[in-house]
Structure 1
Protein backbone atom coordinates (compact mmCIF):
# COMPACT_ATOMS: atom_id res chain seq x y z
CA UNK A 1 0.00 0.00 0.00
CA UNK A 2 2.71 2.51 -0.93
CA UNK A 3 1.87 6.20 -0.97
CA UNK A 4 3.14 8.80 -3.43
CA UNK A 5 5.43 10.39 -0.88
CA UNK A 6 8.58 9.89 1.13
CA UNK A 7 9.69 9.61 4.73
CA UNK A 8 12.92 10.48 6.53
CA UNK A 9 14.03 7.96 9.16
CA UNK A 10 16.99 7.72 11.49
CA UNK A 11 19.22 4.68 11.38
CA UNK A 12 18.10 1.97 13.81
CA UNK A 13 19.48 -1.26 15.24
CA UNK A 14 17.15 -4.25 14.74
CA UNK A 15 14.31 -1.71 14.42
CA UNK A 16 10.84 -2.10 15.92
CA UNK A 17 7.79 -3.16 13.91
CA UNK A 18 6.64 0.47 13.52
CA UNK A 19 9.86 1.28 11.66
CA UNK A 20 9.19 -1.49 9.15
CA UNK A 21 5.62 -0.32 8.71
CA UNK A 22 7.09 2.85 7.18
CA UNK A 23 9.16 0.81 4.74
CA UNK A 24 5.91 -0.79 3.59
CA UNK A 25 3.89 2.42 3.59
CA UNK A 26 6.14 4.89 1.76
CA UNK A 27 7.57 4.75 -1.75
CA UNK A 28 10.88 6.40 -0.86
CA UNK A 29 12.77 6.00 2.41
CA UNK A 30 15.50 8.51 3.25
CA UNK A 31 17.97 7.31 5.88
CA UNK A 32 19.65 10.13 7.77
CA UNK A 33 23.42 9.82 8.00
CA UNK A 34 24.47 13.39 8.84
CA UNK A 35 22.52 14.05 12.04
CA UNK A 36 24.32 14.18 15.38
CA UNK A 37 24.08 11.04 17.49
CA UNK A 38 21.28 11.03 20.06
CA UNK A 39 21.45 8.82 23.15
CA UNK A 40 18.67 6.54 24.40
CA UNK A 41 17.12 5.97 20.97
CA UNK A 42 16.73 3.04 18.62
CA UNK A 43 19.86 4.20 16.81
CA UNK A 44 21.91 1.93 19.05
CA UNK A 45 19.33 -0.01 21.04
CA UNK A 46 16.55 -2.48 20.49
CA UNK A 47 14.02 -4.24 22.69
CA UNK A 48 13.15 -7.92 22.85
CA UNK A 49 10.82 -9.89 25.12
CA UNK A 50 12.06 -12.18 27.87
CA UNK A 51 10.27 -14.30 30.46
CA UNK A 52 9.98 -11.30 32.80
CA UNK A 53 9.12 -8.63 30.26
CA UNK A 54 10.85 -6.25 27.86
CA UNK A 55 14.65 -6.38 27.70
CA UNK A 56 16.53 -3.37 26.27
CA UNK A 57 19.79 -4.25 24.52
CA UNK A 58 22.27 -1.44 23.85
CA UNK A 59 25.15 -1.38 21.38
CA UNK A 60 27.92 0.60 23.12
CA UNK A 61 29.59 3.37 21.16
CA UNK A 62 32.93 5.15 21.39
CA UNK A 63 32.46 8.47 23.14
CA UNK A 64 34.41 11.27 21.51
CA UNK A 65 35.80 14.36 23.16
CA UNK A 66 33.23 16.58 21.57
CA UNK A 67 29.54 16.24 22.36
CA UNK A 68 28.43 16.19 18.75
CA UNK A 69 29.31 13.24 16.54
CA UNK A 70 27.69 12.63 13.17
CA UNK A 71 25.87 9.32 13.18
CA UNK A 72 27.80 8.05 10.15
CA UNK A 73 31.10 8.67 12.00
CA UNK A 74 30.08 7.03 15.28
CA UNK A 75 32.21 4.00 16.12
CA UNK A 76 31.06 0.90 17.95
CA UNK A 77 32.89 0.10 21.19
CA UNK A 78 34.17 -3.40 21.86
CA UNK A 79 35.49 -2.72 25.36
CA UNK A 80 32.85 -5.11 26.70
CA UNK A 81 31.60 -8.45 25.38
CA UNK A 82 28.29 -6.94 24.37
CA UNK A 83 27.92 -9.14 21.28
CA UNK A 84 28.25 -12.31 23.30
CA UNK A 85 25.88 -10.99 25.95
CA UNK A 86 23.29 -9.85 23.39
CA UNK A 87 23.27 -13.20 21.60
CA UNK A 88 22.96 -15.12 24.86
CA UNK A 89 20.00 -12.96 25.81
CA UNK A 90 18.37 -13.40 22.39
CA UNK A 91 18.96 -17.16 22.49
CA UNK A 92 17.46 -17.42 25.97
CA UNK A 93 14.40 -15.42 24.93
CA UNK A 94 13.69 -17.05 21.56
CA UNK A 95 15.29 -20.49 21.30
CA UNK A 96 11.85 -22.04 21.88
CA UNK A 97 10.11 -19.75 19.37
CA UNK A 98 8.68 -21.37 16.19
CA UNK A 99 11.14 -19.80 13.74
CA UNK A 100 14.34 -19.26 15.75
CA UNK A 101 16.15 -22.17 14.10
CA UNK A 102 14.98 -20.97 10.69
CA UNK A 103 16.49 -17.47 11.04
CA UNK A 104 19.34 -17.80 13.55
CA UNK A 105 22.04 -18.43 10.93
CA UNK A 106 21.15 -15.11 9.29
CA UNK A 107 21.12 -13.16 12.56
CA UNK A 108 23.96 -14.67 14.59
CA UNK A 109 26.80 -13.28 12.39
CA UNK A 110 25.93 -9.78 13.61
CA UNK A 111 27.11 -10.93 17.03
CA UNK A 112 30.30 -12.59 15.80
CA UNK A 113 31.84 -10.21 13.26
CA UNK A 114 33.03 -6.69 14.03
CA UNK A 115 31.86 -3.47 12.40
CA UNK A 116 33.74 -0.21 12.86
CA UNK A 117 30.81 2.18 12.45
CA UNK A 118 27.32 1.93 13.93
CA UNK A 119 25.69 3.28 10.76
CA UNK A 120 27.28 0.56 8.60
CA UNK A 121 26.32 -2.09 11.14
CA UNK A 122 22.70 -0.93 11.19
CA UNK A 123 22.50 -0.62 7.42
CA UNK A 124 23.67 -4.18 6.87
CA UNK A 125 21.22 -5.40 9.50
CA UNK A 126 18.41 -3.57 7.72
CA UNK A 127 19.35 -5.05 4.36
CA UNK A 128 19.38 -8.60 5.72
CA UNK A 129 16.10 -8.11 7.57
CA UNK A 130 14.44 -6.80 4.41
CA UNK A 131 15.66 -9.86 2.54
CA UNK A 132 14.22 -12.16 5.21
CA UNK A 133 10.92 -10.28 5.09
CA UNK A 134 10.94 -10.30 1.27
CA UNK A 135 10.59 -6.54 1.43
CA UNK A 136 12.22 -4.27 -1.17
CA UNK A 137 12.09 -0.68 0.09
CA UNK A 138 13.52 2.17 -1.95
CA UNK A 139 16.27 3.24 0.47
CA UNK A 140 18.14 6.49 -0.17
CA UNK A 141 20.96 7.79 2.04
CA UNK A 142 20.81 11.52 2.73
CA UNK A 143 23.52 13.61 1.10
CA UNK A 144 23.57 16.33 3.73
CA UNK A 145 21.65 17.25 6.87
CA UNK A 146 18.09 18.36 6.03
CA UNK A 147 18.75 18.06 2.30
CA UNK A 148 15.57 16.14 1.48
CA UNK A 149 12.43 17.19 -0.44
CA UNK A 150 9.97 19.40 1.45
CA UNK A 151 7.19 16.86 0.89
CA UNK A 152 9.09 14.28 2.94
CA UNK A 153 7.69 13.36 6.36
CA UNK A 154 10.36 13.81 9.04
CA UNK A 155 10.13 10.77 11.32
CA UNK A 156 13.67 10.74 12.70
CA UNK A 157 12.57 11.25 16.30
CA UNK A 158 9.01 9.92 16.13
CA UNK A 159 9.81 6.24 16.75
CA UNK A 160 11.36 6.09 20.21
CA UNK A 161 11.89 3.66 23.12
CA UNK A 162 11.05 6.54 25.48
CA UNK A 163 7.30 6.94 25.89
CA UNK A 164 7.48 10.69 26.46
CA UNK A 165 9.30 11.11 23.14
CA UNK A 166 6.94 9.03 21.01
CA UNK A 167 5.05 11.12 18.48
CA UNK A 168 1.49 10.38 17.43
CA UNK A 169 1.30 7.96 14.52
CA UNK A 170 -2.33 7.33 13.50
CA UNK A 171 -1.10 5.26 10.56
CA UNK A 172 0.34 2.54 12.79
CA UNK A 173 -1.55 0.18 15.07
CA UNK A 174 0.32 -2.95 16.01
CA UNK A 175 -1.39 -6.10 14.76
CA UNK A 176 -1.16 -8.63 17.64
CA UNK A 177 0.58 -11.97 17.17
CA UNK A 178 1.48 -14.85 19.47
CA UNK A 179 4.65 -14.18 21.44
CA UNK A 180 6.79 -16.76 23.25
CA UNK A 181 5.59 -15.84 26.71
CA UNK A 182 1.98 -15.03 25.76
CA UNK A 183 0.56 -17.27 28.49
CA UNK A 184 2.51 -15.38 31.17
CA UNK A 185 2.63 -11.86 29.75
CA UNK A 186 0.13 -9.74 27.92
CA UNK A 187 0.97 -8.90 24.31
CA UNK A 188 3.82 -6.37 24.13
CA UNK A 189 3.59 -4.27 20.95
CA UNK A 190 6.27 -2.70 18.78
CA UNK A 191 9.27 -4.71 19.90
CA UNK A 192 12.32 -5.33 17.73
CA UNK A 193 11.53 -6.97 14.42
CA UNK A 194 13.43 -9.98 15.82
CA UNK A 195 10.47 -10.74 18.07
CA UNK A 196 8.09 -10.78 15.11
CA UNK A 197 10.42 -12.79 12.87
CA UNK A 198 11.15 -15.50 15.42
CA UNK A 199 7.48 -15.86 16.32
CA UNK A 200 5.74 -15.42 12.96
CA UNK A 201 8.36 -16.30 10.36
CA UNK A 202 7.10 -15.93 6.76
CA UNK A 203 3.89 -14.35 8.06
CA UNK A 204 5.82 -11.38 9.46
CA UNK A 205 5.32 -9.12 6.45
CA UNK A 206 1.59 -9.79 6.58
CA UNK A 207 1.54 -8.67 10.23
CA UNK A 208 3.44 -5.50 9.33
CA UNK A 209 1.07 -4.67 6.47
CA UNK A 210 -1.95 -5.20 8.72
CA UNK A 211 -0.39 -2.79 11.24
CA UNK A 212 -0.50 0.04 8.70
CA UNK A 213 -3.66 2.10 9.02
CA UNK A 214 -5.21 3.84 6.03
CA UNK A 215 -6.17 7.48 6.26
Structure 2
Protein backbone atom coordinates (compact mmCIF):
# COMPACT_ATOMS: atom_id res chain seq x y z
CA UNK A 1 0.00 0.00 0.00
CA UNK A 2 1.33 3.44 -0.95
CA UNK A 3 0.39 6.20 1.50
CA UNK A 4 0.27 9.97 1.09
CA UNK A 5 1.58 11.60 4.28
CA UNK A 6 2.62 15.05 5.48
CA UNK A 7 6.23 15.42 6.66
CA UNK A 8 6.00 16.50 10.30
CA UNK A 9 8.37 17.46 13.10
CA UNK A 10 9.73 14.22 14.61
CA UNK A 11 6.52 12.39 13.65
CA UNK A 12 4.22 10.62 16.05
CA UNK A 13 4.62 6.90 16.65
CA UNK A 14 1.50 6.09 14.63
CA UNK A 15 2.92 8.02 11.68
CA UNK A 16 6.24 6.19 11.91
CA UNK A 17 4.39 2.89 12.11
CA UNK A 18 2.71 3.85 8.84
CA UNK A 19 6.09 4.78 7.34
CA UNK A 20 7.66 1.48 8.43
CA UNK A 21 4.84 -0.67 7.07
CA UNK A 22 4.12 1.03 3.74
CA UNK A 23 5.52 2.89 0.77
CA UNK A 24 5.22 6.64 1.32
CA UNK A 25 4.77 9.70 -0.85
CA UNK A 26 5.33 13.01 0.95
CA UNK A 27 2.75 15.74 0.47
CA UNK A 28 4.77 18.91 -0.25
CA UNK A 29 2.30 20.93 -2.33
CA UNK A 30 -0.30 21.81 0.29
CA UNK A 31 -1.00 25.01 2.20
CA UNK A 32 0.43 25.40 5.68
CA UNK A 33 -2.13 25.08 8.49
CA UNK A 34 -1.72 26.07 12.12
CA UNK A 35 -2.11 23.74 15.10
CA UNK A 36 -0.88 20.65 13.30
CA UNK A 37 2.12 18.37 13.69
CA UNK A 38 3.84 20.26 10.87
CA UNK A 39 5.59 22.41 13.47
CA UNK A 40 5.03 20.60 16.74
CA UNK A 41 5.54 17.28 18.44
CA UNK A 42 4.82 15.84 21.89
CA UNK A 43 7.25 14.25 24.31
CA UNK A 44 7.03 13.27 27.98
CA UNK A 45 8.79 15.25 30.71
CA UNK A 46 8.61 15.03 34.49
CA UNK A 47 5.49 17.21 34.16
CA UNK A 48 3.79 14.82 31.73
CA UNK A 49 2.86 15.34 28.08
CA UNK A 50 4.81 18.31 26.73
CA UNK A 51 4.66 20.11 23.39
CA UNK A 52 7.73 21.20 21.45
CA UNK A 53 6.66 23.93 19.05
CA UNK A 54 8.68 25.39 16.16
CA UNK A 55 8.02 29.13 15.77
CA UNK A 56 7.47 30.23 12.20
CA UNK A 57 7.44 33.49 10.30
CA UNK A 58 3.96 34.30 9.05
CA UNK A 59 4.35 35.69 5.56
CA UNK A 60 1.12 34.57 3.95
CA UNK A 61 -0.64 36.22 1.03
CA UNK A 62 -3.53 38.64 1.30
CA UNK A 63 -5.73 35.62 1.95
CA UNK A 64 -3.49 34.60 4.84
CA UNK A 65 -2.28 31.43 3.13
CA UNK A 66 1.17 30.22 2.31
CA UNK A 67 2.48 27.00 0.88
CA UNK A 68 4.01 24.56 3.34
CA UNK A 69 7.12 24.60 1.16
CA UNK A 70 7.43 28.36 1.67
CA UNK A 71 7.19 28.39 5.46
CA UNK A 72 10.30 29.83 7.13
CA UNK A 73 11.17 29.02 10.73
CA UNK A 74 11.85 31.87 13.14
CA UNK A 75 15.36 31.19 14.39
CA UNK A 76 15.57 34.46 16.32
CA UNK A 77 13.91 32.74 19.30
CA UNK A 78 16.74 30.16 19.64
CA UNK A 79 14.08 27.44 19.71
CA UNK A 80 16.52 24.71 18.69
CA UNK A 81 18.63 25.30 21.78
CA UNK A 82 15.49 25.23 23.94
CA UNK A 83 14.17 22.04 22.35
CA UNK A 84 17.48 20.23 22.73
CA UNK A 85 17.82 21.30 26.35
CA UNK A 86 14.27 20.06 27.00
CA UNK A 87 15.05 16.70 25.40
CA UNK A 88 18.21 16.38 27.46
CA UNK A 89 16.34 17.13 30.68
CA UNK A 90 13.49 14.76 29.85
CA UNK A 91 15.47 11.80 28.52
CA UNK A 92 18.98 11.96 29.93
CA UNK A 93 18.12 9.06 32.26
CA UNK A 94 16.40 7.01 29.55
CA UNK A 95 18.17 3.83 28.39
CA UNK A 96 19.16 5.07 24.94
CA UNK A 97 19.47 8.88 24.97
CA UNK A 98 23.27 8.77 25.04
CA UNK A 99 23.24 6.10 22.34
CA UNK A 100 21.56 8.44 19.83
CA UNK A 101 22.43 11.94 20.97
CA UNK A 102 25.41 12.31 18.62
CA UNK A 103 23.17 11.62 15.64
CA UNK A 104 20.37 13.92 16.80
CA UNK A 105 22.24 16.90 18.27
CA UNK A 106 23.43 18.24 14.87
CA UNK A 107 19.80 18.83 13.91
CA UNK A 108 19.58 21.36 16.72
CA UNK A 109 22.83 23.04 15.79
CA UNK A 110 21.97 23.59 12.12
CA UNK A 111 20.68 26.79 10.54
CA UNK A 112 17.79 25.41 8.49
CA UNK A 113 15.35 28.01 7.25
CA UNK A 114 12.54 26.04 5.61
CA UNK A 115 10.23 24.09 7.91
CA UNK A 116 9.49 21.43 5.29
CA UNK A 117 13.17 20.70 4.65
CA UNK A 118 13.92 20.54 8.36
CA UNK A 119 11.04 18.14 9.01
CA UNK A 120 12.20 15.83 6.24
CA UNK A 121 15.66 15.94 7.77
CA UNK A 122 14.33 14.88 11.19
CA UNK A 123 12.49 11.97 9.57
CA UNK A 124 15.59 10.87 7.66
CA UNK A 125 17.70 11.07 10.81
CA UNK A 126 15.29 8.86 12.73
CA UNK A 127 15.31 6.47 9.78
CA UNK A 128 19.10 6.34 9.99
CA UNK A 129 18.92 5.63 13.72
CA UNK A 130 16.49 2.76 13.10
CA UNK A 131 18.16 1.44 9.93
CA UNK A 132 14.86 2.12 8.18
CA UNK A 133 14.84 3.25 4.56
CA UNK A 134 12.93 6.52 4.21
CA UNK A 135 11.16 7.42 0.98
CA UNK A 136 12.34 10.43 -1.01
CA UNK A 137 9.24 10.51 -3.22
CA UNK A 138 7.33 13.79 -3.12
CA UNK A 139 3.99 14.90 -4.52
CA UNK A 140 4.15 16.98 -7.69
CA UNK A 141 0.81 18.77 -7.31
CA UNK A 142 -1.94 19.11 -4.73
CA UNK A 143 -4.91 16.78 -5.18
CA UNK A 144 -7.99 16.83 -2.99
CA UNK A 145 -8.60 13.19 -3.89
CA UNK A 146 -5.24 11.60 -4.77
CA UNK A 147 -5.11 8.97 -7.49
CA UNK A 148 -3.36 5.65 -6.89
CA UNK A 149 -2.52 6.67 -3.31
CA UNK A 150 -4.13 5.99 0.05
CA UNK A 151 -4.71 9.41 1.62
CA UNK A 152 -3.57 9.48 5.23
CA UNK A 153 -2.82 13.17 5.42
CA UNK A 154 -5.21 13.42 8.37
CA UNK A 155 -2.41 12.12 10.60
CA UNK A 156 -0.97 15.65 10.52
CA UNK A 157 -3.86 16.96 12.62
CA UNK A 158 -2.96 17.62 16.24
CA UNK A 159 -6.61 18.13 17.18
CA UNK A 160 -9.04 15.32 16.60
CA UNK A 161 -6.24 12.99 15.59
CA UNK A 162 -6.85 9.31 14.91
CA UNK A 163 -7.14 7.28 18.11
CA UNK A 164 -4.26 4.84 18.27
CA UNK A 165 -4.42 1.89 20.66
CA UNK A 166 -0.76 1.01 20.85
CA UNK A 167 1.22 -1.57 22.75
CA UNK A 168 2.76 -0.16 25.92
CA UNK A 169 6.52 0.19 26.37
CA UNK A 170 8.59 1.39 29.31
CA UNK A 171 8.73 5.17 29.71
CA UNK A 172 11.00 7.27 31.93
CA UNK A 173 8.20 8.86 33.96
CA UNK A 174 5.67 6.02 33.77
CA UNK A 175 5.55 5.55 37.54
CA UNK A 176 4.57 9.20 37.92
CA UNK A 177 2.15 9.67 35.00
CA UNK A 178 1.25 6.20 33.82
CA UNK A 179 1.77 5.23 30.19
CA UNK A 180 1.30 8.14 27.77
CA UNK A 181 0.50 6.96 24.26
CA UNK A 182 1.30 8.19 20.75
CA UNK A 183 4.03 10.64 21.57
CA UNK A 184 6.78 11.59 19.14
CA UNK A 185 8.93 8.80 17.78
CA UNK A 186 11.68 10.33 19.94
CA UNK A 187 10.04 8.98 23.09
CA UNK A 188 10.03 5.44 21.72
CA UNK A 189 13.59 5.76 20.40
CA UNK A 190 15.06 6.96 23.70
CA UNK A 191 13.20 4.33 25.72
CA UNK A 192 13.39 1.30 23.43
CA UNK A 193 16.43 1.99 21.24
CA UNK A 194 17.04 -0.62 18.50
CA UNK A 195 13.83 -2.42 19.50
CA UNK A 196 11.86 0.58 18.21
CA UNK A 197 11.93 -0.66 14.62
CA UNK A 198 10.34 -3.99 15.45
CA UNK A 199 7.85 -2.20 17.68
CA UNK A 200 6.55 0.12 14.94
CA UNK A 201 6.50 -2.70 12.39
CA UNK A 202 4.29 -4.74 14.74
CA UNK A 203 1.75 -2.05 15.63
CA UNK A 204 -1.69 -2.74 14.15
CA UNK A 205 -2.56 0.12 11.81
CA UNK A 206 -5.12 -1.59 9.59
CA UNK A 207 -7.73 0.96 10.83
CA UNK A 208 -5.88 3.57 8.75
Query: How much does 1:133 deviate?
Result: 1.0
Tell me how far apart the structure 1 counterparts of residues 134 and 165 of structure 2 sit (CA, whole Å): 20
* TM-score (norm. length: structure 2): 0.92
Contact 2:6 2:27 (8 Å CA) reproduced:
yes
Aligned positions, number: 205
Contact 1:7 1:155 (8 Å CA) reproduced:
yes
Deviations 1:98-127 (A, max 9, x none): 000000111111111110101110111111
Aligned to 1:124: 121
- 1:30 maps to 2:22: no
Deviations 1:181-214 (A, max 9, x none): 1111110111011100000000001111221245
Tell me how far apart the structure 1 counterparts of residues 116 and 205 of structure 2 sit (CA, whole Å): 29
Aligned to 1:204: 196
Aligned to 2:39: 44
1:1-215 correspondence to structure 2 within 5 Å: 5-26=1-22, 28-66=23-61, 67-146=64-143, 150-162=147-159, 165-167=160-162, 173-213=165-205
Tell me how far apart the structure 2 counterparts of residues 76 and 214 of structure 1 sit (CA, whole Å): 35
Q: Cα RMSD between the aligned structures?
A: 1.7
Query: How much does 1:147 deviate?
Result: 8.4
Query: How much does 1:153 deviate?
Result: 1.6
Aligned with 1:88: secondary structure? helix
Moved more, 41-50 or 74-83: 74-83
Tell me how far apart the structure 2 counterparts of residues 138 and 112 of structure 1 sit (CA, whole Å): 24
Deviations 1:108-161 (A, max 9, x none): 111111101011101111111111111114441001111885231211123432
Gaps of 5+ in 1: none
* TM-score (norm. length: structure 1): 0.89
